[in-house]
Amino acid sequence: MATWSAPGKVFLFGEHAVVYGKPGLAMAIQPRVQVTVRKARHPARPRSSYIQECFRETGVRGTVYVRSQLPSASGLGSSAAVTVATLSAINEEFEKGYTREQVADLAFSIEKKVQHGLASPTDTYVTSFGGLVLIRGPERLRLPPRNIPLVVGNSRVSHNTGKMVERVAREREVRPAMVNAVLEAIEAVTEEAVGALQNPPELGRLMNINHALLEAIGVGHPALSRLVLASRAAGAYGAKITGAGGGGCMIALAPKRARGRVAGAMESCDAQAIVTTIDTQGARREAHA
Ligand code: MEV
């Protein structure tokens, strides 16, 4: 029997712009998905198609038990975390000898297959390695870890990443001059943010600008706007959509004294609030009780 866990992720800056080759900054966050795999000759078929693919791709059979602290389908990378934790547990249980890079690559190809071609290599990379990751075109650069405490607000409004990516593409066709200018502005915000990681008030300001730019390209949602405004009113340095938008999650950066208030403000807007910070470990082996 082998148990592994993998963390969730948020985009701090640059979502959507990364689709057009602009930089993006993502961070692994502490809520985790934990997966136990045990060899079995005649296991029941796993319910998750991600887990089914993990067994198919590795050519082994086993039972699986999943525990998750991450809300699914909310943009926090839960499918990538499940896939990476499952592959890591299979790796140990069946002594496959995969490296962490190989697990991340295989997880990405599984996500692509299950999601019919649309998957983010960012999610599988960040959940495998943890920490802060700067995406620049095809490169994934691991930055020195920083403690960036966040309050994540899950709007519970369901959304579809593919549709939101398409929406931006359509908007760009209709209004190329405007949308390209916004994507360039997002790039400038992300570049400045990389230099401001130790300055929370400045980082918060940059989050506010990034949020406005995401709204400008059509990925806002009234529920997310409410959460962003409520967080700022409760004392956050800044707040923004995280991930695809149109529903899903937002994040707020707040001073320690205001974190509880920000979480309370989100809950009074019917959202689920998760107070969290950076995860620096990525996929990790869990001891059995
Ligand atoms: C979704 O979490 C982030 C997007 O930029 C898509 C991607 O990077 O794959 C919208």
Q: Average pLDDT, whole number, for the chain?
A: 96
pLDDT tens by residue, 231-266: 999 999 999 999 999 999 999 999 999 999 999 999
SS3 content of the chain, % helix, strand, coil (to 5): 45, 25, 30
| Terminal-residue alpha carbon distance, the chain | 12
Residue 119 has pLDDT above 90, yes or no: no
Q: What local confidence, expressed as pLDDT, does residue 72 receive?
A: 86
Q: What local confidence, expressed as pLDDT, does residue 89 receive?
A: 98
Q: What are the CA-CA distances from residue 60 to residues 15, 118, 207, 221 (Å)?
A: 36, 26, 44, 43
DSSP 47: S
Q: What local confidence, expressed as pLDDT, does residue 289 receive?
A: 66
Which residue minimizes the CA distance to atom 7 of ligand 1? 120
Query: Rounded distance, CA 89 to CA 223, Å?
Result: 37
- Side-chain-side CA neighbours of residue 38 (13 Å): 9
Which residue ranges have their beta carbon within 6 Å of ligand 1?
A: 11, 15-16, 18-19, 75, 120, 122, 161, 165, 243-244
Two tokens at 152? 């994540």
Residue 98 has pLDDT above 90, yes or no: yes
Q: Where are the domains of the chain?
A: 2-146, 150-276
Whether residue 123 lies in the annotated active site: yes
pLDDT, mean of residues 81-93: 98
Q: What is the CATH number of domain 2-146?
A: 3.30.230.10
Chain-centroid distance, C-alpha 52? 22
Q: What local confidence, expressed as pLDDT, does residue 121 receive?
A: 87
Q: Is the dihedral of CA 133, 210, 164, 272 positive or negative?
A: positive
| Ligand 1 mutation target, pool 13, 16, 134, most atoms within 8 A of CB | 16
Architecture of domain 150-276: 2-Layer Sandwich (3.30)
Taking CB atoms within 8 Å and a gap of at least 24, the contacts of 207-211 are: 207/12, 207/13, 207/237, 207/238, 207/239, 207/240, 207/251, 207/253, 208/232, 208/238, 208/239, 208/240, 209/185, 210/13, 210/14, 210/186, 210/240, 211/238, 211/239, 211/240, 211/241, 211/250
